[in-house]
Amino acid sequence: MTHTYPHIIVAKFGGTSVADFDAMSRSATLVLADKNVRLVVLSASAGVTNLLVELASGLESPVRLDKIATLRVLQYNIISRLKQPDAIGQEIDRLLDNISRLAEDAVDSPSAALCDELVSHGEMMSSLLFVEVLREREEVETQWFDARKVIRTDDTFGCALPAIDAIAEQAEKRLRPRIAQALIVTQGFIGSDAAGHTTTLGRGGSDYTASLLAEALNASRVDIWTDVAGIYTTDPRIVAQAKRIDTLSFSEAREMATLGAKVLHPATLLPAIRKNIPVFVGASNNASAGGTLVLRDALEPSRYRALAMRRQQTLLTLSSLDAQPTHRFLAETFGILSRHETAIDLVTTSETSIALILNSTGSTSGEADTLTTALLTELSSHCHVEIETGLALVSLIGNGLAKEAAVCKEVFAELETHAVRMICHGASNQSLCFLLPAASADSAVKALHRSLLE
């Protein structure tokens, strides 16, 4: 039966929300509680993606067989709780056989393309199982859908770029008619290139998938269900006094995500911003606790909103070898970085040197190997190269930070016992960022939170 749904909600569930049968059941209850939820986007069950990434690195037997056995147990712990396990068990077995074959291929010839193909099986399995959990409720017609038919990307395996126009065209053609007939369950994180090869959007990319599909369908809201009840003033595991922020602006939330707050994938908000689609973040295991609503404009923007942290940062300091003009040194340095497609993040410069943080987040295959031998060789012929690791980036997010008086005094008064390696301030009006030795980052966040946010 065909219906019209003027207010489509896209609901995304993270790995902990589909970790086992009980978690899937809680998530199913959330989906069925709102008839406007017409499209469900799933991550792989918690722990599955990490296992698949390890298998894609080319593990020898018996370690490889051990990992596959662990995957099988995770899936069958869910299957065993279903009323009719046989048919879905055969489908999951087929996918596990695929995983086994690809993991064996990876021993001899690992590649980014093979990794994407292998890792995609996590979302395929969780989405198939979730459809069965929903069907057992017998409350609504439910259909499984392969996201690769709609999420079209380039062929940058491990961190593919979505083709926005192609996604919109395919969503209108393939998804909208189905949504009118049934509740659709699909996969986050995965897509396909022009040749039909499986790609991935980078770690944490299921949020991004949900937002891209919401944009393509002109949805009224995206619900991101995770294991925390919203976005907090900082990581509650670091500061017990951290408080949930009930409303955030798109720009505040995007700054937080980019600078290390892990509740949202950094790219998630881009499609939402383009179509002005509110994004809700809540906890699937405690839906009544509420959450955070991200909107175009926050209701009460304040000077200081949150603190974010990114660990395992690499600082690259590049110093000129001769007295060449600053503009030429900068141009040639960034030309080298561009040729090697080096993902850089924050940058500070002087007349004779550049300090920059490498952006090592995002790739499916783990930490992106940005400091290649070829890059370092070319840089070393042009400038003196100094590499420093064991650092953490701490960022204060707020409003008007580059124009308000006393911001630097209030922040750095709390850091007088810390060795600050780098400061970025002024380029963004919504953040003040600084690099610290990793060992002292937690204490800095605690001190700043106590002083500025409590």
Whether 339 has a binding-site annotation, put simply, is no
Q: Mark 283-294 as b/e (b = at least 16 C-beta within 10 Å).
A: bbbebeeebbbb
Pick from 150, 183, 167, 181: which is nearest to 9 by CA? 183
Whether 83 has a binding-site annotation, put simply, is no
Whether 403 has a binding-site annotation, put simply, is no
Whether 263 has a binding-site annotation, put simply, is yes
Whole-Å CA distances, 184 to 8, 9, 55, 371: 12, 11, 30, 42
Residue with tokens 């017990």: 240
Whether 329 has a binding-site annotation, put simply, is no
DSSP-derived secondary structure for 128-187: HHHHHHHHTTTSS-EEE--GGGT-BB-S-TTSPPB-HHHHHHHIIIIIHHHHTTSEEEEE
Whether 230 has a binding-site annotation, put simply, is no
Whether 49 has a binding-site annotation, put simply, is yes
Question: How far is it, in rounded angstroms, from Cα 185 to Cα 179?
Answer: 10
Q: Which two tokens stand for residue 61?
A: 């037997």
Whether 130 has a binding-site annotation, put simply, is no
Question: How far is it, in rounded angstroms, from Cα 145 to Cα 168?
Answer: 16
Whether the Cβ atoms of residue 9 and residue 179 lie closer than 8 Å to each other: no
Residue with tokens 């499916």: 364
Question: How far is it, in rounded angstroms, from Cα 187 to Cα 12?
Answer: 9
Which strand (E) or helix (H) includes residue 38? strand 37-42
Question: How far is it, in rounded angstroms, from Cα 415 to Cα 431?
Answer: 17
Whether 47 has a binding-site annotation, put simply, is no
Whether 243 has a binding-site annotation, put simply, is no
> Can you say which residues are annotated as belonging to the binding site?
12-15, 49, 123, 226-227, 232, 237, 262-263
Which residue ranges are tagged as binding site for substrate? 49, 123
* Binding-site residue positions for ATP: 12-15, 226-227, 232, 237, 262-263
